[in-house]
Amino acid sequence: MKTYSTGQIKNLVIVGNSGSGKTTLAEAMLFEGGVIERRGDVESKNTVSDFKEIEQNNTCSVFSSLLYTLYNDHKINLIDAPGLDDFVNGIISALTVTDTALMVVNAQNGIEVGAEIHGRYVAKANKSIIFVVNQVDHEKGNWEKTIESIRERFGNHAVVIQYPVNTGSSFDSIIDVIAMKLYKYPKEGGKPQILDIPADQKDQADELHAALIERAAESDESLMEQFFANDTLSPEELQKGIKTGLIQRGLFPVFCVSAKKNIGVSRLMEFIAQVAPSPNDMPAPKAGTKEVKCDPAGQATLFVYKSAVETHIGEINYFKVMAGEIKEGIDLTNNTTQNKERIAQIFAVAGKNRTKVPNMLAGDLGATVKLKATRTNQTLSLDTSLKFPAIEFPEPKYRTAIRTLSEGDEEKLGEALQRMNFEDPTIQIEYSKELKQIILSGQGEYHLNILKWHLDNIFKIGTEFVAPKIPYRETITKYAQADYRHKKQSGGAGQFGEVHLVIEPHKEGTPDTEMFKIEGKDQKMSIRDKEEIPLAWGGKLVFYNCIVGGSIDARFLPAILKGLMEKIETGPLTGSYARDIRVYVYDGKMHPVDSNEISFKLAGRNAFSLAFKKAAPKILEPMYQVDVLVPGDRMGDVMSDLQGRRAIVQGMSSEMGFQKITAKVPLAEMNKYSTALSSLTGGRAMYSMKFLEYEPVPGNIQEELLKAYEAEEKEE
């Protein structure tokens, strides 16, 4: 395989609703480019992408697949992205390294939920769109309604480049308003006859051609001047205007095909080769503050956008050559770990097929194997100062706990989950000491069910999902005093320690308290030392040494603090972590022989526990900011559901043609929200959530939690 220059490379991601025919279109494009000798199909489970067992079983993409095809001396790299939002990892990583989205639309249904959601991701990434209306040959295909739905959701930027002469089972002819020719295909697709436009179609073609010229002229001032002067554009000027419009997201060309019959695919590929932007046509990305031009003469640099583990191969890293030339045997520095990595082999990838190549130039997409310690989001370069920003994946939206069915499988489960996270960064794993659970978080219920399928069928580990516990916190709302004497005699040396302390709530920025009322009398605290301890689970413990007169030796204070820390890790109310507490140790007693560290640790711990229960303790719950993008006609249903989840709506606005609801919602109420929201809106809404803060739970819920904890303690 030859080495393609940067200007000969086109990078596209294939997006659209699940079932629109993305994988079938990719198959046809690879066949047209001579990369495969025969076309597979999804039903026969023999396509180049969607080659993994889970994808074949479910007849839908779960992972993104890198592919390439060749046309008119150009290399067209394609990433076939999953259509379901649960597998958003695939589209977001692909948009990072591609320049254009090829959005496949089913002519039976028009713009569906998946296309709508993908359109938002494409807009956020500021990438251009080429619409491909597929399944025009289906008896229920409706071209006019499909175009209407595209314009309704994406505006008048959508410009018809082609339209079918006849839809349904007789579909075989396309009128192309760039070439102003009719393309007539054999019954089962293939190479078309290129004919003049029939007289009965001439007016419609002329009208669409004029609209295309006008839209292309709008993308460039010099072209607009030519258009005003001549009332038209030359073919070269038209091509330039379409390309500029694509890059600026001012023009979204619309094509029509039957991917299954290979009708219209070759003309689409011809357009991509001629007009779609190459990597060096796009704005230069930044590595830190430095712009890195997609220049084959630059310092050899690649960015890993995806990592995977494949049978018989091991770890495989997919990359984009950001600059320079990558050759076999080149040594690069991983600018995240500072380790050296040798690129021993380079592959041009067509799904499950890999072709070994000696080198790749700036802009190309490929893969390599046997790297020592490189994974997604890392930059390898000759220039050790270059580090591209990490791909930002959405925060998890669905959580569950998982446990093994057989004791002794815990280590195997941990290794399997780490591998799943290696392949999909949107899967997050937390081994919670606090909750005594392994918490899995992902993009939806289906997302985590697919993970479980891998555990059951690939890793052969029996597991079950269980309800995840909520990481509550405990704190106090007023000050309280307590003292405790620990005394133990057992023949020889005994144990003795007595601690007097006051606790109060801690709030950042508030001054230390120097006067407390203890047993009806004002007690002044002589603060000799203060230690602020940030807690790993959030909040602080502030420890004050207020000992005067040597009632407790300074060497025992660390033991008292240790006792406090032990108790703060298992709060008295529900066993949850406690936080945001000030502890003033102001008095106590010790014995010249029997006092030791263990005595003061126990005295401090028990005094703290007694004071905590008297200080009006409260359970805190984690609150999340939830942003919901919802169609206007479903606002009422979504609002009602949120209110039923104890949500506090904080704002409403419009975004990308949708209504956006911003609310503060307790994590305890978000269980299976992704499934509920999909049901309420027919899958058209999407949401994100991120941790905000801890807030006190309502009194009735605190009572329920206390009763549940008591019952759990009795069972144990």
Task: Express each pLDDT in 335-346 by its tens digit.
Answer: 999 999 999 999
List pLDDT tens digits, range 630-669: 888 889 999 999 999 999 999 999 876 678 999 999 999 9
Phi, psi of 370 (to 5 degrees): 60, 30
**Same-domain pairing of 502 and 448:** no
- DSSP designation for 192: P
List pLDDT tens digits, range 449-490: 999 999 999 999 999 999 999 999 999 999 999 999 999 877
Most confident of 387-391, 431-435, 517-521, 710-714: 387-391
Most confident of 144-158, 210-224, 227-241, 486-500: 144-158
Cβ-based neighbours of 660, under 8 Å, separated by 6 or more: 627, 628, 629, 630, 652, 653, 654
Does some domain include residue 490? yes
Query: Which pLDDT score is estimated for 381?
Result: 96
Query: Which pLDDT score is estimated for 651?
Result: 92
Total structural domains in the chain?
5
Name the domain boundary from 616, 644, 666.
616
Cα–Cα distance between 547 and 526 in angstroms, integer?
A: 7
Closest CA to 303 of 366, 346, 394: 366
Does some domain include residue 109? yes
Cβ-based neighbours of 701, under 8 Å, separated by 6 or more: 621
3-state class of 326 per DSSP?
Answer: strand
Does some domain include residue 325? yes
Cα–Cα distance between 665 and 626 in angstroms, integer?
A: 7
Cα–Cα distance between 326 and 577 in angstroms, integer?
A: 51
Name the domain boundary from 562, 586, 616.
616
Query: Which pLDDT score is estimated for 656?
Result: 65
Cα–Cα distance between 184 and 644 in angstroms, integer?
A: 58
- Alpha carbon 43 to its chain's center: 30
Closest CA to 424 of 125, 115, 93, 15: 93
Does some domain include residue 201? no
Closest CA to 58 of 453, 540, 634: 453
**Same-domain pairing of 377 and 262:** no
- DSSP designation for 156: G
**Same-domain pairing of 428 and 531:** no
| AA identity, residue 317 | N
List the structure tokens of 688: 């994100």
Phi, psi of 295 (to 5 degrees): -125, 120
Q: For the domain that residue 323 is a member of, what is the CATH number? A: 2.40.30.10
Residue 212 burial (C-beta neighbours within 10 Å; 0-12, 13-18, 19+) = buried
Q: For the domain that residue 23 is a member of, what is the CATH number? A: 3.40.50.300
3-state class of 590 per DSSP?
Answer: coil
Return mean pLDDT, the chain. Answer: 92
Does some domain include residue 142? yes
Query: Which pLDDT score is estimated for 440?
Result: 96
User: Which band of pLDDT confidence, cut at 50, 70 and 90, is reported for residue 491?
Assistant: low
Closest CA to 661 of 691, 683, 687: 687
Cα–Cα distance between 552 and 106 in angstroms, integer?
A: 79
Does some domain include residue 319? yes
Does some domain include residue 242? no
**Same-domain pairing of 296 and 277:** no
Cβ–Cβ under 8 Å, residues 80 and 26: yes
**Same-domain pairing of 652 and 684:** yes
Residue 53, CA distances (Å) to 45, 58, 64, 344 in order? 9, 9, 14, 29
Closest CA to 350 of 1, 600, 711, 710: 1
Cα–Cα distance between 26 and 174 in angstroms, integer?
A: 20
Higher pLDDT, residue 214 or 11: 11
| % of the chain residues with pLDDT over 90 | 75
Question: Tokens 């023009």 belong to which residue?
Answer: 251
Residue range(s) defining the domain that contains residue 440: 401-469
Residue 493 has pLDDT above 80, yes or no: no
**Same-domain pairing of 33 and 158:** yes
**Same-domain pairing of 49 and 163:** yes
State the Cα torsion 450-454-456-460 to the nearest 10°.
-170
Question: Tokens 């936080």 belong to which residue?
Answer: 579
Residue 447, CA distances (Å) to 84, 404, 418, 419, 539 in order? 9, 19, 16, 15, 33
Neighbours of 490 (CB within 10 A): 7
Question: Tokens 């249904």 belong to which residue?
Answer: 109
Cβ–Cβ under 8 Å, residues 404 and 417: no
Residue 407, CA distances (Å) to 458, 519, 654 in order? 19, 54, 51
The arithmetic mean of pLDDT across residues 388-396, rounded, is 93
**Same-domain pairing of 178 and 324:** no
Low-confidence winner among 62-76, 208-222, 315-329, 534-548 (lowest mean pLDDT):
208-222
User: Which band of pLDDT confidence, cut at 50, 70 and 90, is reported for residue 555?
Assistant: very high
Q: What's the first-to-final CA gap in the chain, in angstroms?
A: 67
List the structure tokens of 309: 């583990």
| AA identity, residue 667 | L
Cβ-based neighbours of 707, under 8 Å, separated by 6 or more: none
User: Which band of pLDDT confidence, cut at 50, 70 and 90, is reported for residue 716?
Assistant: low
Name the domain boundary from 421, 450, 469.
469
Higher pLDDT, residue 311 or 30: 30
Contacts of 267-270 spanning 24+ positions with Cβ under 8 A:
267/162, 267/174, 267/176, 267/183, 267/192, 268/29, 268/132, 269/29, 269/32, 269/33, 269/69, 269/71, 269/72, 269/76, 270/71, 270/72
User: Which band of pLDDT confidence, cut at 50, 70 and 90, is reported for residue 380?
Assistant: very high
Does some domain include residue 208? no
Cα–Cα distance between 400 and 468 in angstroms, integer?
A: 5
List the structure tokens of 582: 């000030």
Cα–Cα distance between 585 and 456 in angstroms, integer?
A: 54
Cα–Cα distance between 111 and 113 in angstroms, integer?
A: 7
Cβ–Cβ under 8 Å, residues 6 and 281: no
Q: For the domain that residue 420 is a member of, what is the CATH number? A: 3.30.70.870
**Same-domain pairing of 588 and 672:** no
**Same-domain pairing of 638 and 611:** no
List pLDDT tens digits, range 12-24: 999 999 888 999 9
List pLDDT tens digits, range 267-302: 999 999 999 999 999 999 999 889 999 999 999 999
**Same-domain pairing of 12 and 78:** yes
Question: Tokens 């086109």 belong to which residue?
Answer: 10
| AA identity, residue 111 | I
β pairing state of 346-350 and 353-357: antiparallel
**Same-domain pairing of 437 and 317:** no
